[in-house]
Structure 1
Amino acid sequence: MVERKRQPSGDEARGKAMRAAIGAIAEKGPAGVRMADIAARASMSTGHILYHFGRKDRLLLEVLAWSEADLGARFEEAAAGAATATEKLAHFVRYYLPRGQGDERYGLWTHMFARRHDDASRLLLTELSDTWDARLEAVVREGQARGEFAPVDPADFTVRAVAMLNGISADIMFGRPRWQQTSPDAFALAALERELRAS
């Protein structure tokens, strides 16, 4: 009798699939990756992957949410160790911007923004974006309370800041040569600090 390979179930299967998807996306890109590629990396059947996620876009959306939660937790840990709001702002810029043209997380964002979504998916993407806005606004309010930052409107500042950071992020992912000679983190932080300078 041939022993059938055990398929993981529940949270175990979802975790394996998402970790495998990150590796497959890094190799083939979000558009090029197939469910079969993810299944092979996870040592699962394609049918099992489909059972848990239904379709590729749903899996990629969940991978993005999982990745954002992990990145957000790392930002919060770094921010908790910062002595000033200015240091927290520097951490925010570093965790927000992509680490290079091959950044898998930003590759996923680009892929997801280019597709049509149902209301539930659109809501999730909006919530992921709003979470980063809330983090930045909290840093600004803390800096103002400490007297480090000027009394700008935190919500308005956040809209302007995120728009700038998203533009820089798109440039990095596109491979604009200017960011090969200039640090995008340093450039963005200097621009934000100029507006927030208290004196």
Structure 2
Amino acid sequence: MARARTNRRMDRPREQVLEAALAMIGEQGLGTVTMASLAARLGTSGGHLLYYFGTRDGLLLETLRWSEQQYAVQRAPLVEQAAAGEGSLAAVLAFAEVYLPLDDRDPRWLLWLELWARAPYDPELASAQGELDAGWHRDLVALLRAWLPGITDADALSDRLRAMWDGFAISIVNGGGTMLREAVVEHTRATLERHV
């Protein structure tokens, strides 16, 4: 017997779809997120999702952008401190905490890593990831300059820190979990204390 589709109307269609996609990635991995499985989870039709996002890749790219907007909101108070000239080691460490995966099931990082691997073959995705990276870089440079006003190359220090965090992030989501995350923050502290 065929199951009837409810095709319910969503209150916040775009956000609800993106929230559900990110939740599915964290729970089951990116491979299970299809338009059909996402539509079933939301009680709507695949056609409804196609109307908003066009393709699965379009949906995943929008999910990444939306997720990164949430993290931009989290780091905004730190950037405001930097703009007021109130940078500190604690603020940079707090920035690292926002940057790093929460644990080995962090859906933002699972999505990011999957799309990162596709970027060399997809110019739109590569461009979007470049823009998102540039935002993290810009904010970290502002924080570093506020905390270390005499630093000669905040851009290079930002590049080194983010490269270190990216490398450790891969290890965190590949099973390193929260203990490795805590160790990364301490590695960051040790690296930055050499600049004081």
Regarding TM over 0.5, the answer is yes
1:196 is the counterpart of 2:161: no
Which moves more between the two structures, 25-34 or 187-196? 187-196
Give 1:155's aligned residue.
155
- Counterpart amino acid of 2:159? V
1:186 is the counterpart of 2:185: yes
Preserved contact between residue 85 and residue 142 of structure 1 (Cα < 8 Å): yes
1:116-127 matches, cutoff 5 A: 116=119, 117-127=121-131
Q: What percent identity do the matched residue pairs reach?
A: 29
Distance apart, 1:143 and its partner CA = 1.1
TM norm structure 1: 0.82
Quick one: which of 82, 89, 93 aligns to 2:92?
89
Q: Structure 1 stretches of 5 or more lacking a match?
A: none
Give 2:74's aligned residue.
74
Change (3 A) 1:5 1:42: closer
Hey, what's the Cα distance between the residues in 2 that align with 1:100 and 1:174?
Answer: 9
Runs of 4+ in 1 over 3 A off after TM superposition: 4-9, 78-84, 179-182
**Offset from partner CA, 1:130-184 (integer Å, 9 cap, x none):** 1111111111111123xxxx5241111111111111111111111148x637723
RMSD of aligned C-alpha atoms? 2.5
Preserved contact between residue 104 and residue 172 of structure 2 (Cα < 8 Å): yes
Change (3 A) 1:5 1:153: closer
Give 2:57's aligned residue.
57
Preserved contact between residue 9 and residue 44 of structure 2 (Cα < 8 Å): yes
- Counterpart amino acid of 2:154? P
Change (3 A) 1:131 1:181: closer
**Offset from partner CA, 1:79-138 (integer Å, 9 cap, x none):** 546964222101111000111111110000111012254322211111011111111111
- Counterpart amino acid of 1:180? M
Q: Structure 2 stretches of 5 or more lacking a match?
A: 1-5
